Structure formats: C-alpha cells, structure tokens
C-alpha cells in the first residue's frame, strides 16, 4: 500500500479504482475515464492532486535563489500571485523536473513540483539554497484539488461569499491568490490558495488548502456538479493539450531544447547565471531533436516507446494514447528536428501511418487540428 492523500477515504467511497502513482494510491477513474475526460472538456471535473509537492521558499534570498535555480526567470513575475512554468536543470542541462512557481510577494514564492520527483527535488533545492537567506518549507500540511473545465471557475466561485468569489473570478490566467480566514464564512473554505492554472487545456483553478479541510471542500465541489476525475482522464486531457509529463516526455537525459520546451528557457537577460545555462548555450547551435505531436492516420493506438520512422532518421513516442475529444490516437514524440508531414510508427510489429501535428491538439474545448488533416487517409 502506498501513501494516501487526505481524500483517500472519499475516493474509496466514491468508487474510485486506485492505482499506484509515484508511490501514492491515486484514483485512476471512478467508473469511466472517458466520461470523466468529456466532463472536463464540456463542463467541470476535479482531480485530487495532493500527491504533488508544494514547496514554499521564503526570505529575502528567495527571489535571487530562484533566478539561479530555474531555467525560466522569476524576474518576469512582476504582479503578486503571478505564476511561471519552468524546468529545473542539472548543470549538464538535463531536466530534473518541470514545475510552476508563483511569486506571492518579494519574500514568498510557492513552487509546485511533481510527486515522483519530490525527494530528489527537495534535496537539490536544499543543497543549492545552502546558506542563502531562504527557508525551504515542504507543505505536507496542504492538500490540493484541481477543478478544470469551462464551468469550473463559476462553480467554484459559487461556494464562496460574494467578495471572495469576485476576487477569484477576477484572477487572470496563471495568477494565484491566497484567501484568508476573514474572506470566508465557511471554515472549510478558509485559507485556500487558488491559482488559475491547470494541466488539462481547459480553464479552471488549482486549489491548495489545509489537509483537514480537503474532504469537506471536495464534497462541496461535488455538490456544485463538479465531477470527480482520475489520473486516467488527467493523462488524456494533458496529452490533448500538448503538456509534457515528467518521466515520459521530459527526463534527465534530455535538455529542454530537445523536449519542446525551449520557450521556457529565459536566456535574457544574458547576465542571469542559472544552473544548466552554460550547457544549454553550448548545445544551442546543434540541437538535433525536438518533441512534436503525432496524429495516427491508421486504426490503432499510439503508445510510449514505439519507434517513429522519418525521412530524417528514427524517433520515439514519449506519450501516446487515445484522444477522447478527437476519437483518434495522438502522441508526443521525440523526433529528429525539422521532420514534417508523414511518418511511420511501429505498432505491434506493423508500420502505421501518422502525421506530424504541432501540439496542442485541443484547447478550451476546441480541436485545433485542421479538418483536412483529420480527414486524411492513411
């Protein structure tokens, strides 16, 4: 038996099929992962993401430390609560993890890292914090619920008193706010950290809250017709949205330039010396691989580790699945840079026809693949 989130008993009661994920017992689905996927695309769903690791960096040194620790630049975060997606790199440029960092104020940054990388991330962060004026606090006292979908924000806000609801609905994309005890009559909803971020390609909130309140808030969200959804739907949603999954599409063996994440590496200003910068700059003129998207034209399902055959050489599927919004199979694949058009993928001994399609495949409920490509014959 793995570690359990504060919502474990709730999941069991709601009929979740639990699986091990990074050492945690997590819901795979509550009956049908396809229906959960569609609920998020069409209305609202919620995910227990309490297995993810919240790390608060506090102190005068937190900002300067993060500017050295991360490949993206927290110096871009000018407004309070603003968040930033970034990779954390080794000296050789390999991706230790991908994360979101929020600047709550000058001396308080909140970082959310992956569950499976928790231990190595914390060790790395603490080792590099050294004797800088920064406290590294792992927030094991917090649970986290992601509410996603076109109706998500309105249905969450409906639980809050008018002033707090207005604050939540005013949040710009990728901005977070902290609600205090005075903002909410309900004690379960007090002290919520609410960010307008997610991992599904839909609008919504990610809510961090005291672990003791998690079950009550989950029930309250459920009463707002927000459907519980498991990691199965989370994976197909993020794949359609073109988001990387650490361990599949990202790993220590590849740098962000070879992982479709060059846009997250802030090489300006040039004087900012972040960990991995020298390695990336040395490799910049000769990046040979990239992550791109595939649409399967033949019948079948693309899966991780399948070989991709292109006119520029071989590649590898890093994440593949059935895309419920498309009714087709899609994938992310690491291929030789510059590959376009048709490729073949080795699926169970056969070579199936696929087409390079730049992710995202789906955004805010809309399919982004042109109809003529969806209609192509193998």
Among residues 2, 22, 61, 300, the one that binds another protein under rule CB under 8 A:
300
H or E element in which residue 26 lies: strand 24-29
Q: Of 103-111, 274-282, 298-306, 351-359, which segment contacts another protein by CB under 8 A?
A: 298-306
Is-contact 7 25, C-beta < 8 A?
no
Among residues 132, 216, 301, 368, the one that binds another protein under rule CB under 8 A:
301
Residue 33 lies near another protein (rule: CB under 8 A): yes
Q: Which is nearer to another protein, 223 or 351 (CB)?
A: 351
Q: Total number of residues binding another protein (CB under 8 A)?
A: 17
Q: Which is nearer to another protein, 32 or 186 (CB)?
A: 32
Residue 34 lies near another protein (rule: CB under 8 A): yes
Q: Name the nearest CA neighbour of 3 among 23, 27, 29, 17.
A: 23
Residue 299 lies near another protein (rule: CB under 8 A): yes
* C-alpha 119: how far from chain center: 18
Residue 348 lies near another protein (rule: CB under 8 A): yes
Residue 303 lies near another protein (rule: CB under 8 A): yes
Work out how close the CB of 237 gets to another protein at its nearest, in angstroms, rounded to a whole number: 11
Q: Which is nearer to another protein, 25 or 203 (CB)?
A: 25
Where residue 364 falls (left for φ over 0; alpha for ψ -120 to 50; beta otherwise) is left
Q: Note the residue count of the chain.
A: 378
Distance CA 161, CA 67 (A): 37
Residue 27 lies near another protein (rule: CB under 8 A): no
CA gyration radius, the chain: 21
Q: Of 8-16, 65-73, 214-222, 316-324, which segment contacts another protein by CB under 8 A?
A: 316-324
Among residues 72, 197, 318, 321, the one that binds another protein under rule CB under 8 A:
321
**DSSP output for 141-159:** TEEEEEEESTTHHHHHHTT
Token duo for residue 71: 């490949």
Distance CA 148, CA 152 (A): 5
Note the residues at the interface with another protein (CB under 8 A). Answer: 17, 28-29, 32-34, 232, 236, 299-301, 303, 321-322, 324, 329, 348
């Amino acid at each position: 038996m793995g570690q359990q989130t504060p919502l474990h008993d709730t999941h069991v009661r709601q009929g979740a099929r639990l699986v091990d994920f990074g050492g945690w017992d997590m819901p795979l689905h509550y009956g049908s992962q396809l229906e959960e996927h569609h609920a998020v695309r069409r209305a609202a769903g919620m995910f227990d993401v309490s297995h993810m690791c919240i790390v608060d960096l506090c102190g005068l040194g937190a900002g300067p430390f993060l500017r050295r620790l991360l490949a993206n630049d927290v110096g871009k975060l000018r407004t309070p609560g603003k968040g930033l997606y970034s990779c954390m790199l080794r000296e050789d440029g390999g991706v230790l993890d991908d994360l979101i960092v929020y600047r709550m104020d000058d001396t308080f940054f909140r970082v959310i890292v992956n569950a499976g990388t928790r231990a190595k991330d914390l060790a790395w962060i603490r080792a590099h914090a050294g004797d800088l004026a920064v406290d590294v606090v792992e927030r094991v006292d917090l649970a986290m619920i992601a509410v996603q979908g076109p109706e998500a924000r309105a249905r969450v806000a409906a639980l809050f008193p008018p002033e707090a609801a207005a604050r939540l609905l005013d949040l710009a994309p990728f901005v977070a706010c902290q609600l205090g005890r005075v903002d909410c009559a309900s004690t379960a909803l007090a002290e919520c950290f609410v960010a307008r971020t997610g991992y599904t390609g839909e609008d919504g909130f990610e809510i961090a809250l005291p672990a003791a309140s998690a079950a009550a808030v989950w029930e309250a969200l459920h009463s707002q017709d927000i459907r519980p959804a498991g990691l199965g739907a989370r994976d197909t949603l993020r794949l359609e949205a073109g988001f990387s999954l650490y361990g599949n599409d990202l790993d220590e063996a590849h740098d962000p330039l070879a992982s479709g994440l060059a846009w997250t590496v802030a090489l300006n200003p040039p004087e900012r010396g972040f960990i991995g910068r020298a390695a990336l700059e040395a490799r910049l003129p000769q990046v040979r691989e990239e992550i791109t998207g595939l649409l399967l034209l033949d019948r079948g399902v693309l899966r991780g580790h399948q070989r991709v055959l292109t006119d520029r050489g071989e590649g590898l599927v890093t994440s593949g699945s059935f895309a419920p919004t498309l009714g087709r199979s899609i994938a992310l694949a690491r291929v030789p840079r510059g590959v376009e058009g048709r490729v073949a993928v080795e699926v169970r001994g056969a070579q199936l026809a696929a087409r390079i399609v730049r992710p995202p495949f789906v955004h805010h409920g809309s399919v982004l693949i042109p109809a003529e490509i969806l209609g192509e014959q193998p």
